[in-house]
Amino acid sequence: QYETLKATQADYHQQLQALSLALHPFTLEGSDFQTTLQVTAQLQQSLQALRALPQLSTLTHAAAAFDKFARQIPDLTMVINTWWHWVHQCLESHALDSQTSNWLLTQLLPLVYWQQQVDKTKSPTLKAHYQQAYRQAQAHYQQQPVPASLTAHEIQQWWAWADWMVAHFQRTSSPVEGRNGLLSRIHHTSRGLSAQRLAVLTVIHNFGLTRKDGSTAAQRLFGSPFPDLFQSIVDGFGELPLPRKSRKASNAQTPDLLAVPA
């Protein structure tokens, strides 16, 4: 029975890893394009494998968790097609030739994407897969020559564009997953959160929390800096009021020393 449980646990973690590795706009092997339909098929396959695990099929909460994830699959995979549509719209607005456009899509974007995934992930297992994909993308980038029509300044600009484009690909079912995760750690004391506190926490999440590069969520979304949140609060205080006067005049409390013999 112990060996069966151990094998089930290994299969469970393997399928969870497969779910995470599938949700990318590029494949791990070869960095080919992926669409919503392809990723949906991979997620459904891993989900069916999870449902078939013998030790999990009898658990009620596990079945409910699988059903919840199945409902989230359309929202998760729709991000991929939306991102690709955004990429093509950006390239069409620059009226590039086919060689330059193909270089950006098949060489530069995969290289920058896997580089960012290697930097962001903290899981050693996932990092190993992303490092392998990055090395393959790097080798492919070095084998293909850069279009001769691009100058050094233009190449630098396209690198910055690819870095900005890849940073806006969010592998979440909702743009507020981070905020919800933060709220889930707060002890609600069975009373819930007031509307005012929710508004304050939203402002802190969007304008106060920063990544390793020092950028906030609002700065990444709007592409412009915002004043420091704490300094803005301090500047809005103005002159501090004087202490409130008591309605009753307080008599001075003087100690009454009793006479004592010398």
DSSP line for 60-75:
HHHHHHHHHHHHHHHH
Task: Read off the pLDDT of residues 192-251 as tens digits, 9 standing for 90 and up.
Answer: 677 888 888 889 989 988 888 888 989 988 888 888 888 888 888 878 778 877 776 656
Counting residues of the chain whose pLDDT is more than 90, the rounded percentage is: 26
* Separation between Cα atoms, residue 258 and residue 255, nearest integer Å: 9
CA distances (Å), origin 153, targets 19, 97, 106, 137, 167: 39, 18, 20, 23, 21
Name the band, by pLDDT with cuts 50, 70 and 90, for residue 253. Answer: low
- Calculate mean pLDDT across residues 52-68: 76
Predicted local distance difference test score (pLDDT) of residue 109: 94
The pTM of the full predicted model, rounded to 2 decimals, is 0.65
In order, the DSSP letters of 189-201 are TTT---HHHHHHH
Token pair 């995760």 is at which residue? 181
Contacts of 173 (CB under 8 A, 6+ apart): 72, 75, 76
Phi, psi of 29 (to 5 degrees): -95, 110
Chain mean pLDDT for the chain: 83
